[in-house]
Chains A and B, each alone.
Chain A
Amino acid sequence: MMNKYLESVRVMLGGEPRKPQPADYTEEAKTIHFYKKTEKLDFEALKLEAREHQKKGRWLRRRWTALLAINLLFTVSFWFDVQVLEGALTASRMLGFHLIDLNSALQVMLAHKHIIVNLLIGTGTVFVLWLLLGGRTFCSWVCPYHLLAEIAERLHVYLVEKKKITDHAFHRGTRTVFWLMFALMAIVTGYTVFETISPTGIVSRALIYGPGLALGWVAVLLAFEIFYSRRAWCRYVCPIGLTYGVVGVFSPVHVSYKLANCHHEGDCRKVCEVPHVLECVIKGRAPAAQMDIGADCTRCGMCIDVCPSGALAFEIRGLTKIM
């Protein structure tokens, strides 16, 4: 049981997903894998058939709506002085309750080396919130840079398809190094160095307090992602993602994979921001009939939208058992 979480953290920090050993497979999984070998269905035709009946972009619509609603709530609260959600994504107050971004709070604590009660209260509230909702859920459902990066990603994928550019991957461990580096810089310099270049903070403030030069930096990042490396910031740099990822390790909200339903055609891995969490969908790789997708998953639901056979679905641990 513990192993599963350790492995999920190891992969999140940059380790290559391990192929399961023969002993790791459950009897049920072995049986399913055995029968899958004899299946001679026309998976391509099944996929096309499923696509026709599928609701397109169901989770995408929900997610973008939520993301825009949350970010615009900040803007509206300030502009029309309705005081529902005051502040920016780094720190805010919802109807008077302090909410403080975990990574920003960490940077301030490390740089300032002094923690006041309000900071602790706000951080605690947000910690519990994302522990329940799934950690990196913050990335895909709240972070405004994520939305811009998704649009940039579409352009990037289009250009790659047209063979105008090629994608350049980095080592995923780079993000872990960055996390340590930014933490160290905050301690040593006494400044919240990461906040200076954080596109999440910059875009959030631009939406609320108006645009500035800082958006130029965001444009540089987006251009880098469009022309050079797919989703580079979120995949290889952003320490916010890793902080929330760690918070979400034991979260009850996650994507669940059903081996029996899977056709192994791999579309989910093509749309995924963090495809290393979906190693188990590769034919023969899933050691159990039902798998929880790892902590690095942003719970964006793109894989669920694209899956033609219902092998992937959101699950709330505990709740599904009760119902």
Chain B
Amino acid sequence: MSDEKPQPTVHLSDKRKLEARRRFLRSIFLGAAMLCVSAAGYIPVLREWRVRMRPPGALEEADFLSSCIKCGQCVQVCPVQAIKLDDIDHGFGVGVPYIDSRKQACDFSCDAVQCILACPTGALVYKKPVFMPTRNEMKLASPPILLAKESSPEPTLNLKERSGLAVLARPEKCLARQGKGIKGAARGAAFEGTMRFMEVDRWKPIPLRDHPYDLELCDLCVRTCPIKGAISLESVVENGVTIKTPVVHEPCVGCGVCEMVCPPELAAIVVEARRGWSI
């Protein structure tokens, strides 16, 4: 069939060759450009702009980023909408879930850590596979007891590891240490965060602002902590004066409720993501 075609002139075939060469060069450029753009996702990861608080049961950060398929099913099952998805400024972390505990902490009001159940790829797991690297200080000594279901036959949460640890980062802000109480909403009338209060509604979390307090001495971090024995108010002697101060204990899983409810403008107590228990 091709022999019927008139022979293309030299001029035309030159033009075609030139176009083919240009196309080839353009393609190389396109490849290089895409390589650069996708490699740019490395920058935030390498610099660890912010160590993110991940949902309960998350693998160590590098494993978590590689195994998360960025579908947001964990976001959809969370009854308090604590889980959000990161944006492209987090590089490879785009579409990966995180929790901003100060805005909305995980209070385990789902009772069963639903986000782990929803995860299709094992980025969030109840129990890490044996070959997955883990740090000893992340392991919980015993299954955490959820105070909300303490009286039920199975009161524990199916968690083997903590996702972080609460730390009294700004002791000078702590109301208890100053001997101050709290009257009204913990975080003011404009705060949007929600929480489950067993005495109000077993199944429905309510806005924190609709649950005012009137306390002589602030102990919100202790009183709202969903885990048994994770935090307590202790008497200590500092500069010859006996004061009350919150003390975090080993059962702390790093859920962040204490950080969310802490009344000062800047929270006295915060959860540090991926921090383990060390004495």
Q: Mark B36-54, 1 if CB is under 8 A from A, else 0.
A: 0111011001000000000
For residue B134, CB closer than 8 A to chain A, the reply is no
Q: A118 to B88, Cβ gap below 8 A?
A: no
Given A192-B92, A197-B34, do A22 and B69 touch, yes or no (CB 8 Å)?
A: no
**What is the chain B residue whose CB lies nearest that of A285?**
B1
Q: Mark B70-91, 1 if CB is under 8 A from A, else 0.
A: 1111011100000001011101
Q: Mark A173-191, 1 if CB is under 8 A from B, else 0.
A: 1100110011001000111
**What is the chain A residue whose CB lies nearest that of B67?**
A112
Given A112-B121, A205-B95, do A197 and B31 touch, yes or no (CB 8 Å)?
A: no
Q: B120 to A205, Cβ gap below 8 A?
A: no
For residue A111, CB closer than 8 A to chain B, the reply is yes
Q: How far is the CA of A170 from the CA of B30 in the complex (A)?
A: 8
For residue B27, CB closer than 8 A to chain A, the reply is yes
Q: B71 to A90, Cβ gap below 8 A?
A: yes
Q: B122 to A178, Cβ gap below 8 A?
A: no
Q: A19 to B27, Cβ gap below 8 A?
A: no
Given A174-B27, A197-B38, do A209 and B67 touch, yes or no (CB 8 Å)?
A: no
Q: B88 to A196, Cβ gap below 8 A?
A: yes
In the assembled complex, the CB of B251 is this many whole angstroms from the nearest CB of chain A, namely 28
**What is the chain A residue whose CB lies nearest that of B131?**
A114
**What is the chain A residue whose CB lies nearest that of B119?**
A118
For residue B142, CB closer than 8 A to chain A, the reply is no
For residue B62, CB closer than 8 A to chain A, the reply is yes
Q: A178 to B31, Cβ gap below 8 A?
A: yes
Q: How far is the CA of A185 from the CA of B1 in the complex (A)?
A: 45
For residue B26, CB closer than 8 A to chain A, the reply is yes
Query: Across the A-B interface, how many residue pairs have beta carbons closer than 8 Å?
Result: 157
* Interface positions of A from 38 to 81, Cβ below 8 Å from B: 77-78
Given A118-B120, A197-B37, do A105 and B42 touch, yes or no (CB 8 Å)?
A: no
Q: Mark A102-120, 1 if CB is under 8 A from B, else 0.
A: 0011001001101010110
Total residues of chain A contacting the partner, CB 8 A = 61
For residue B178, CB closer than 8 A to chain A, the reply is no
Q: B41 to A118, Cβ gap below 8 A?
A: no
In the assembled complex, the CB of B138 is this many whole angstroms from the nearest CB of chain A, namely 19
Give chain A residues whose Cβ lies under 8 Å from the Cβ of B65: 191-192
For residue A34, CB closer than 8 A to chain B, the reply is no
Given A196-B38, A196-B41, A197-B38, do A118 and B122 touch, yes or no (CB 8 Å)?
A: yes
**What is the chain A residue whose CB lies nearest that of B73?**
A87
Total residues of chain B contacting the partner, CB 8 A = 45
Of A118, A170, A205, the contact of B27 (CB 8 Å cutoff): A170
For residue A11, CB closer than 8 A to chain B, the reply is no
For residue B129, CB closer than 8 A to chain A, the reply is yes
Given A100-B120, A171-B24, do A87 and B94 touch, yes or no (CB 8 Å)?
A: no
Given A205-B85, A212-B87, A214-B88, do A195 and B70 touch, yes or no (CB 8 Å)?
A: yes
Q: A104 to B1, Cβ gap below 8 A?
A: no
For residue A159, CB closer than 8 A to chain B, the reply is no
In the assembled complex, the CB of B27 is this many whole angstroms from the nearest CB of chain A, namely 4
Q: How far is the CA of A212 from the CA of B70 in the complex (A)?
A: 14
Can you give 22 A-B contacts (C-beta < 8 A)? A88-B71, A89-B71, A90-B69, A91-B69, A91-B71, A92-B71, A100-B120, A104-B70, A112-B63, A112-B67, A114-B131, A171-B27, A173-B27, A178-B31, A189-B42, A191-B42, A196-B88, A197-B34, A205-B72, A232-B30, A236-B30, A284-B1
